[in-house]
Amino acid sequence: MPPNPTASPDPTFRPAGVIHRLLGSLSIFTMLMTIPQALTIWVKHQAAGISVVSWSAYLVSAVVWLWYGLQKHDKNIYLPCIGWILLDSAVIVGALFYR
- For 40-84, how does the pLDDT look when each residue is reduced to its tens digit (9 = 90+)? 999 999 999 999 999 999 999 999 999 999 999 998 899 999 999
31: Cβ–Cβ under 8 A, 6 or more apart, which residues? 80, 83, 84, 87
Percent of the chain with pLDDT over 90: 70
Query: Cβ atoms within 10 A of the Cβ of 66, count?
Result: 18
Q: Where in the chain are the domains?
A: 49-99
Could you please state the CATH topology (level 3) that the domain comprising 49-99 is classified under. Monooxygenase (1.20.1280)
Percent of the chain with pLDDT over 70: 86
pTM greater than 0.85: no
- What's the pLDDT at 13? 58
